[in-house]
Amino acid sequence: MATLTHLPVVLTSSSIDGGRDEEVVEANAAIVNAMQHALLFTNDMSPVAVRSCSVDFYLGQVLEGGFAQYAATAGGRSGAADALVRDGMAAMGAAAHLDLFNRAVEACGTGADHDCVARLAQLDGEFEELLEHENITALNSGWLLCQPDLLVLDDEDIGPYIQRAASLLSGLAGRRAAGAGAAASRIAGALRGSRSGPAIRNRSGDSGAGKEKPGRP
1-41 pLDDT tens trace: 344 568 999 999 999 998 899 999 999 999 999 998 888 88
Query: Residue 3: its pLDDT value, please?
Result: 46
40 falls within a domain = yes
| Residue 14 to residue 131: CA distance in whole angstroms | 26
pTM, to two decimals? 0.78
* Torsional class of 134: left (φ above 0), alpha (ψ -120 to 50), beta (otherwise): beta
64 falls within a domain = yes
Query: Residue 77: its pLDDT value, please?
Result: 53
| Residue 170 to residue 23: CA distance in whole angstroms | 32
| Residue 90 to residue 187: CA distance in whole angstroms | 29
Handedness of CA 157, 159, 162, 164 (dihedral sign): negative
214 falls within a domain = no
Looking at this protein, which amino acid is placed at residue 93? G
208 falls within a domain = no
Please give the residue that has the higher pLDDT: either 62 or 76.
62
211 falls within a domain = no
What is the residue range of 114's domain? 10-192
Of the listed ranges 37-41, 65-69, 89-93, 200-204, the least confidently predicted one is 200-204
Query: Residue 66: its pLDDT value, please?
Result: 92
Average pLDDT over residues 103-128: 79
How many structural domains are present in the chain? Answer: 1
148 falls within a domain = yes
200 falls within a domain = no
Q: Report phi then psi at 109, rounded to 5.
A: -75, -5
215 falls within a domain = no
